[in-house]
Amino acid sequence: MLTKTFQGHARPSLWIDWQQLTHGSQEDRLSFMTALVLAAESEEQKYGLRLPGKVIEQGYGKVHKHQCLKALALFNQSDTAREFPLDGDS
């Protein structure tokens, strides 16, 4: 589910990796990954995100957090749009 990397006395960094999460629905997995992003950010820990078709390199900070949360929020958005079209869409 996540991989920690140690470099000397520095704080460990981690990867939040979709492929490592094997149980639960897509929504459960995205929710858990979101919680990991928020936890890593609150601890000022360097982290990266791996989703199918998208990798966000390790980092931290407000911009990095926003980038990761946006990637999670938009994950498979095109599939959802086809399943649940808006009024006027076919």
pTM for the structure as a whole: 0.74
In tens, the pLDDT along 20-59 reads 998 899 999 999 999 999 999 999 999 999 999 999 999 9
Report pLDDT for 81. 42
| Residue 43: Cβ within 10 Å count | 10
Domain ranges of the chain: 2-79
